[in-house]
Amino acid sequence: MYTKDGEQYYVVDAHIALWDARPENQRNVHGKQFIDCFYDYHRNLSPEAEVWDYEEYLYQGGERLMRDVFVDGIVDHAIFQPARLAEFYHRGFGQTEEAFALAQAHPEKLTYNHYWDPRDGENGLDALRAAAERMHLKGVKLYTADWHGESRGWKLTDPMAYRYLELCRELGIRNIHVHKGPTIRPLDRDAFDVADVDHVATDFTDLTFVVEHCGLPRLEDFCWIATQEPNVVAGLAVAIPFIHTRPRYFAQIMGELVYWLGEDRILFSSDYALWTPKWLVERFVDFQIPEDLTEYAPLTTELKKKVLGLNAARLYDLPVPEHLRLPEADETRTGPREPAAADLASV
């Protein structure tokens, strides 16, 4: 729980990881390139006081994760969103058993989401069934740019992916977190294209598709899809740290998301250990759209409460104290949420 100026915020960090990128786990040069890329994101977007040493960035372990994520009691609940990356790391990037054990030890604080990959075929379907039973899965994290043998990417619209989505439906796994990375195949088209989300959101209206990084670097394509599909949600991982280095850009991202999606479909995520949640929550509560960006309405306290935790709590049935709950906004299910606020004359 975070309290500021008499307001209480129930906080859910909707995207954390327990990764191991230490050299002994790196399978090849790509393992190093991958964590180096993360570390550059971290160094580029963090306030100076929050920058870690490279060594400590490689691996945190459960004890440190609990301290970092839940420091000062700000974050009420956090959700693991693991990436497998088996082609880059011997034991994978996300540490499944370590993270799942931690979630079992702290069920009130942690939810473990697992992953699947349609290229695992029939065996993968059996594995998902077993994992759902053992881990009581409410959600999965899908990384469409993961490498897999000769293949370097897949699409949600691949026929086998539909089999997995159908199984998710059957198993009650309702939250499908999608991370679009530079999918390689086919190379002919935009690797960050989010059009496949549009298709599956239409075909699986009882599932919720959380697009991580709110589609960045294709914010515009994401917004256009999400505004038409009520079961598509924006995750703020990687977008929210812009609050420090590029606050006006972050204001525009928030302004666009609120305009196209509304306040009930945006989720706070630190993307730990890319960044830690504490400073992000503190900054977000203090954040406001700059006055000269008059095309966007100011971010209300209610909106911040929803983004920081209430929206994710709804998707994951988390027990929010009665007095902190808020009703959903009385808004259109599709199309721009506040067309009247679209003051075209200002930027």
Partner 1 sequence: MTAVLSDLATGVTEQQVRAALGTVVDPELDEPVTDLGFVRSVAVDGGAVEVHLRLPTSFCAPNFAWLMVSDAHDAVCAVPGVERVVVELDDHSDSDLINRGLAAGLGYRGTFGTEAEDSLDELRATFTRKAHTAAMERALTALLRADPSVDLGAVTLGDLPGDAAAALRRRRAAVGLPVDDGAAVLVHDDGTRPGPADAAMVLRRARSVRISVDGNAHFCRGLLTTRYPGAEADQVPRPDDRPVLPLEVLP
Q: Which of 78, 253, 267, 308 binds partner 1 (CB under 8 A)?
A: 253
Q: Which of 22, 246, 325, 333 binds partner 1 (CB under 8 A)?
A: 246
Q: Is the Cα torsion angle 241, 243, 249, 253 positive or negative in sign?
A: positive
Contact flag: residue 283 with partner 1 (CB under 8 A): no
Q: Which of 7, 36, 72, 286 binds partner 1 (CB under 8 A)?
A: 36
Contact flag: residue 224 with partner 1 (CB under 8 A): yes
Provide the minimum distance between the beta carbon of 253 and partner 1 in the complex, in angstroms, as a whole number: 7
Are 251 and 290 within 8 A, CB to CB?
Answer: yes
Provide the minimum distance between the beta carbon of 312 and partner 1 in the complex, in angstroms, as a whole number: 24
Rounded Cα distance between 240 and 214, Å, is 10
Q: Which is nearer to partner 1, 41 or 162 (CB)?
A: 41
Q: How many chain residues are in contact with partner 1, going by CB under 8 A?
A: 50
Read off the tokens for 311.
């929206």
The set of residues, in sequence order, having a beta carbon less than 8 Å from that of 265 and lying 6+ positions away, is: 226, 232, 233, 234, 311
Q: Restricting to residues 3-32, which ones interact with partner 1 according to CB under 8 A?
A: 30
Q: Where are the alpha helices (DSSP H) in 189-276?
A: 195-203, 219-226, 242-245, 247-261
Q: Restricting to residues 285-314, which ones interact with partner 1 according to CB under 8 A?
A: 290, 292-293
Pairing status of strand 232-235 against strand 208-211: parallel
The set of residues, in sequence order, having a beta carbon less than 8 Å from that of 70 and lying 6+ positions away, is: 78, 109
Q: What is the DSSP string of 79-125?
A: EE-----TTTBTT-SB-HHHHHHHHHH-TTTEEE-B---GGGHHHHH
Contact flag: residue 184 with partner 1 (CB under 8 A): yes
Using alpha carbons only, how large is the chain's radius of gyration in Å?
19
Q: Which is nearer to partner 1, 98 or 331 (CB)?
A: 331
Q: Which of these segments, 12-20, 130-138, 255-263, 314-322, binds partner 1 (CB under 8 A)? A: 255-263
Residue 141: enclosing H or E segment and its boundaries?
strand 139-143
Rounded Cα distance between 321 and 261, Å, is 26
Contact flag: residue 248 with partner 1 (CB under 8 A): yes
Q: Which of 189, 205, 286, 319 binds partner 1 (CB under 8 A)?
A: 189
Q: Which of 21, 58, 78, 191 binds partner 1 (CB under 8 A)?
A: 191
Contact flag: residue 203 with partner 1 (CB under 8 A): no
Which residues of the shown chain bind partner 1 in the complex (CB under 8 A)? Answer: 30, 33-34, 36-37, 40-41, 43-44, 150, 152, 181-182, 184-192, 216-220, 223-224, 242, 244-249, 252-253, 256, 259-260, 290, 292-293, 336, 342, 344-347
